[in-house]
Amino acid sequence: MHSPWIHHTVLLKDAVDALSVQPDGHYIDATFGRGGHSRQILSLLSPQGRLTVFDKDPEAVAEAERLAASDARLTIRHQGFAQLGELPAASALGLLMDLGVSSPQIDDASRGFSFRHDGPLDMRMDTTRGLSVAQWLADASVEHMTEVIRDYGEERFAGPIAKAIDRRRQERGPLGSTAELAQVVAGAVKTREPGKDPATRTFQAFRIFINAELEELQQALEASLHVLQPKARLAVISFHSLEDRIVKQFIAAQSREVYDRRAPFAPAQPMRLQALGRSKPSATEIEVNPRARSAVMRVAQRTEHA
């Protein structure tokens, strides 16, 4: 059954243009989502071209399978992109990562990603495995909750929110729905940013933590150096500062020669990436799709060195 929710692919043309697609090449869409970028890449490939897509979300995989049923160039991996390193070395001419949550995931209350739609407190990208947020919150210590909310949500009221969740557990039992969590957070956040729901940062923090998103991103970026051919392109679209900082620092670190201070006369490790720039959605795109407003794309090219 096809999803009734509409998904606007962020930076669709810009991201695919950044890959500089060659018709006979092999490309990777590390976050298939609802397939906007993948379809655009496929439209530029010849019959000999290939596209490998990754996604943890069973609904996204089902959408990819529908596409693959009529396009033999597409290969699907029901995995997170941390498994990029399982692909053959130097096998791809381009790699795209579109981080974050897709509109269907946010708008489907049953997935538990949104504080605007009441639903079960889940937030797992892959609903076939792992703990839901509700299961984790049932036993998490105040200290651990505080750390997660502070570090992954950049929330200055992390301590009061964690204590409020703990009081709620003691008084009425574990939290089970997104509306319950949003209500508890709203009661603990004393000042609110204009136009932003007080639960925004806490929901972001729990989603990032329960899906190990930042750890997976680090692993995927490292794996990109393994899978990309010389002169191949890497394009990464981030939606919040934690992700973008990781991508920015990774590209910067790989875009310079590294000397081993313990062996001053040894040759330097050559730079492995060349930074090609940073871009954001246009005002027109943001007007059509307000969720694109926080997106940042960074692009780099694999150097010719091993």
Residue 280, Cα to own-chain centre: how many angstroms?
Answer: 16
Within this chain, do residues 286 and 275 fall inside the same structural domain, yes or no?
yes
Residue 61 lies in a domain: yes
Within this chain, do residues 94 and 169 fall inside the same structural domain, yes or no?
no
Q: pLDDT confidence of 114, banded at 50, 70, 90? A: confident
Query: Which CATH number fits the domain that encloses residue 226?
Result: 3.40.50.150
Q: Which of 210, 240, 259 is the last residue of a domain?
A: 210
Residue 44 lies in a domain: yes
List the structure tokens of 50. 């290939």
Residue 217 lies in a domain: yes
Q: Which of 168, 190, 210 is the last residue of a domain?
A: 210
pLDDT above 90 coverage of the chain, percent: 79
**Residue 71 one-letter amino acid:** D
Within this chain, do residues 30 and 167 fall inside the same structural domain, yes or no?
no
Within this chain, do residues 247 and 164 fall inside the same structural domain, yes or no?
no
Q: Is residue 246 predicted with pLDDT exceeding 50? A: yes
Q: What pLDDT was estimated at residue 225? A: 96
Within this chain, do residues 19 and 63 fall inside the same structural domain, yes or no?
yes
Residue 119 lies in a domain: no
Mean of all residue pLDDT scores within the chain? 91
85 in Cβ contact with 223 (< 8 Å): yes
How many domains, in total, are found in the chain? Answer: 2
The alpha-carbon radius of gyration of the chain (Å, integer) is 21
Q: Is residue 274 predicted with pLDDT exceeding 80? A: yes
Within this chain, do residues 206 and 88 fall inside the same structural domain, yes or no?
no
DSSP conformation class of 289: -
What are the distances in angstroms from CA 118 to CA 11, 29, 101, 166?
29, 31, 17, 21
Model pLDDT for residues 40-79, shown as the tens digit of each residue: 999 999 999 999 999 999 999 999 999 999 999 999 999 9
Query: Which CATH number fits the domain that encloses residue 137?
Result: 1.10.150.170
Q: Rounded to an integer, what distance in angstroms lies between the CA atom of residue 193 and that of residue 201?
A: 11
Within this chain, do residues 32 and 70 fall inside the same structural domain, yes or no?
yes
Q: Is 135 exposed, middle or buried (0-12, 13-18, 19+ CB in 10 A)?
A: middle
Mean pLDDT of 266-276: 81
Residue 2 lies in a domain: no
Q: Is residue 103 predicted with pLDDT exceeding 70? A: no
Q: What pLDDT was estimated at residue 291? A: 84
Residue 118 lies in a domain: no
Model pLDDT for residues 275-302, shown as the tens digit of each residue: 999 999 999 999 998 889 999 999 999 9
Mean pLDDT of 178-198: 89
Q: What pLDDT was estimated at residue 1? A: 38
pTM: 0.89
Q: What pLDDT was estimated at residue 192? A: 76
Q: What pLDDT was estimated at residue 229? A: 97
Within this chain, do residues 131 and 205 fall inside the same structural domain, yes or no?
yes
Within this chain, do residues 263 and 131 fall inside the same structural domain, yes or no?
no
Q: Is residue 81 predicted with pLDDT exceeding 60? A: yes
Q: Is residue 129 predicted with pLDDT exceeding 60? A: yes
Residue 114 lies in a domain: no
Q: Is residue 256 predicted with pLDDT exceeding 90? A: no
Q: Is residue 31 predicted with pLDDT exceeding 70? A: yes
Model pLDDT for residues 199-238, shown as the tens digit of each residue: 999 999 999 999 999 999 999 999 999 999 999 999 999 9
Within this chain, do residues 77 and 224 fall inside the same structural domain, yes or no?
yes
pLDDT above 70 coverage of the chain, percent: 92
Within this chain, do residues 177 and 229 fall inside the same structural domain, yes or no?
no
Name the more confident of 258 and 34: 34
Q: Is residue 5 predicted with pLDDT exceeding 50? A: no
Residue 6 lies in a domain: no
Q: Is residue 179 predicted with pLDDT exceeding 60? A: yes
Mean pLDDT of 147-174: 96
**Residue 68 one-letter amino acid:** A
Mean pLDDT of 234-256: 96
Q: What pLDDT was estimated at residue 262? A: 67
User: Which domain, by its residues, includes 298?
Assistant: 12-104+213-302
Within this chain, do residues 79 and 225 fall inside the same structural domain, yes or no?
yes
Q: Which of 191, 210, 229 is the last residue of a domain?
A: 210
